[in-house]
Amino acid sequence: MNLDKLQNWLQENGMDVAYVSSPTTINYFTGFITDPEERIFKLFAFKDAEPFLFCPALNYEEAKASAWDGDVVGYLDSEDPWSKIAEEIKKRTKDYQNWAVEKNGLTVAHYQALHAQFPDSDFSKDLSDFIAHIRLFKTESELVKLRKAGEEADFAFQIGFEALRNGVTERAVVSQIEYQLKLQKGVMQTSFDTIVQAGKNAANPHQGPSMNTVQPNELVLFDLGTMHEGYASDSSRTVAYGEPTDKMREIYEVNRTAQQAAIDAAKPGMTASELDGVARKIITDAGYGEYFIHRLGHGIGMEVHEFPSIANGNDVVLEEGMCFSIEPGIYIPGFAGVRIEDCGVLTKDGFKPFTHTSKELKVLPVKE
C-alpha cells in the first residue's frame, strides 16, 4: 500500500504528522480525488495512528463510496475547517509536534491557519521529494492505466488526421478530437489542452490552437493526451497535409531518426543527461541543434509532467519502472515545426512506448 510507505517514512524520519494537500497526491495515497474549489480537501497521516481524509460535506458520501477505506471527516460550510481538523488530530494522537508538509502544495494562508491551531509545532520538514521519488516507479496496475491512456491518444490522432481539410481552423480540429473522444471513448478529461498547430505556427512549441487555418502543403503538429482512471497520456505526431517541401521532409527525418535513436538507446543505468545527448547529437550534427530548444522528455503518471526530467545536465540514473517521454523537436521560426513524442516505461529490455501511431511521415491528401 502506498500509504504504508508514507507511514514508514514518518517513523524513519522522526515525524509525527504528514499533511498531504495536493489532490493528485491524495489520490495516489487513497484512490479518491475531487476538486474542492475554495474548500478544504486534505489527507492526514500519522506515525502511529490511523489516517483520515478531510473533505467538504458535499463530497463526504462520494469519498466514503470510493476506494479509500479509512476514516473520512466532512465539514459544513458553516464550520471552521481548521479547528475541526485540530480536534480530529487531537482525538487520534498526543504527538503532533513534528509535521511533514507537502510544501509544493501548501499555500501561505493554509500554513497560517494550521500554525494558529498548532502554534508550538514544527512544520519545516518537506514531503515533496519523498512523494516525487515513490511516484517515479510505476506498479503494474499503474502501467495498465497508462497503456489504456496511450490507446486513447492513438485514437485521438486518427480523429485529428481525418479532420484536416482546406481552411479548417486549428481550434475546429481540436474540437473534433475532444468531441469524438467523449462520444466514442467516454473520455471526459484530456491531460492538458490539446495542441494542433499548422504551418509556421508549429515553430512555437507550446502555443495553443488558434483561428489559424490549415493550408495545403504544410506540416501540422498534434500534441495531445487523455486521463484514464487518473493516469495521463501525452504524445505528439507531425503530419504533412498535401505535399511537403524537401526541407520539411529533411527536418522531419532528422527528428524521427533522433527520436528512434533515443528510444533504442534508453536502458537502466544510463543518466537522463546521457539519453538527452543521444537525440541532441543527431539533431546538432544535422545542423539543427539551435532549433531543438527544450529537454528531451519528462516523467508521466498521475500528472502529465512528473519526474524524471530527461534533460542535459541531469545526472539522475534511469531505473526500471520509470515512465517518461522521449520527444525531440525542431522548430524553425517562420517556417515549420516538428515534434514526435512517445511516453513509455523503462524495462530491463529497454523503453516500451504507450503509443503506437506510425512515425513514418504521413502525407495526407488535400480535401476541400
Same domain, 171 and 78: no
Instruction: Provide the pLDDT for residue 207.
Output: 87
Residue 206 pLDDT greater than 90, yes or no: no
Q: Please state at what angle helix 108-117 crosses helix 81-92, rounded to 10 degrees.
A: 50
Same domain, 90 and 118: yes
Span 236-248, pLDDT tens digits: 999 999 999 999 9
Instruction: List alpha helices for 31-169, DSSP H.
Output: 60-64, 81-92, 108-117, 128-135, 140-163
Same domain, 41 and 104: yes
Instruction: Provide the pLDDT for residue 208.
Output: 87
Q: Which of 102, 135, 168 is the last residue of a domain?
A: 135
Instruction: Provide the pLDDT for residue 1.
Output: 60
Asked whether the CA dihedral 77, 82, 87, 93 is positive or negative, the reply is: positive
Averaged pLDDT score across all residues of the chain: 96
Secondary structure of residue 79 in the 3-state scheme: coil
Same domain, 85 and 148: no
Instruction: Tell whether 319 is in a known binding site.
Output: no
**Mean pLDDT calculated for residue range 24-38:** 92
| Segment holding 23, helix H or strand E | helix 23-30
CATH code at 196?
A: 3.90.230.10
180 in Cβ contact with 206 (< 8 Å): no
Span 87-140, pLDDT tens digits: 999 999 999 999 999 998 889 999 999 999 999 999 999 999 999 999 999 999
Exposure class string for 195-212: b at 16+ Cβ within 10 A, else e: bbbbbbbbbebeeebeeb
Owning domain of residue 109: 2-135
Measured distance CA(255)–CA(238) in Å, rounded = 10
Same domain, 106 and 11: yes
Same domain, 58 and 157: no
Centre a 10 Å sphere on the Cβ of residue 227 and count the other Cβ atoms it contains.
20
What domain count does the chain have? Answer: 2
State phi, psi for 232 to the nearest 5 degrees. Answer: -100, 150
**Mean pLDDT calculated for residue range 252-273:** 98
Span 170-189, pLDDT tens digits: 999 999 999 999 999 999 99
Instruction: Provide the pLDDT for residue 356.
Output: 98
Give 109's contacts (C-beta < 8 A, 6+ positions apart): none
Instruction: Tell whether 327 is in a known binding site.
Output: yes
Residue 30 pLDDT greater than 80, yes or no: yes
Instruction: Provide the pLDDT for residue 104.
Output: 85
Instruction: Tell whether 234 is in a known binding site.
Output: yes
Same domain, 7 and 152: no
Q: Which three cell numbers stand for residue 67?
A: 476506494
Span 283-336, pLDDT tens digits: 999 999 999 999 999 999 999 999 999 999 999 999 999 999 999 999 999 999
Instruction: Tell whether 87 is in a known binding site.
Output: no
185 in Cβ contact with 152 (< 8 Å): yes
Instruction: Tell whether 79 is in a known binding site.
Output: no
Same domain, 89 and 152: no
| Unique residue bearing C-alpha cell 481548521 | 82
Instruction: Provide the pLDDT for residue 209.
Output: 93
Measured distance CA(281)–CA(271) in Å, rounded = 15
Q: Which of 135, 168, 188 is the last residue of a domain?
A: 135
Residue 2 pLDDT greater than 90, yes or no: no
Same domain, 12 and 155: no
| Segment holding 29, helix H or strand E | helix 23-30
Same domain, 102 and 214: no
Instruction: Provide the pLDDT for residue 141.
Output: 94
Q: Which of 231, 31, 226 is nearest to 138 (CA)?
A: 231
CATH code at 108?
A: 3.40.350.10
Q: Which of 169, 180, 235 is nearest to 208 (CA)?
A: 169
Same domain, 34 and 150: no
Instruction: Work out the burial of residue 184: count CB atoms within 10 Å of its CB; fewer than 13 is exposed, 13-18 middle, 19 or more buried.
Output: exposed
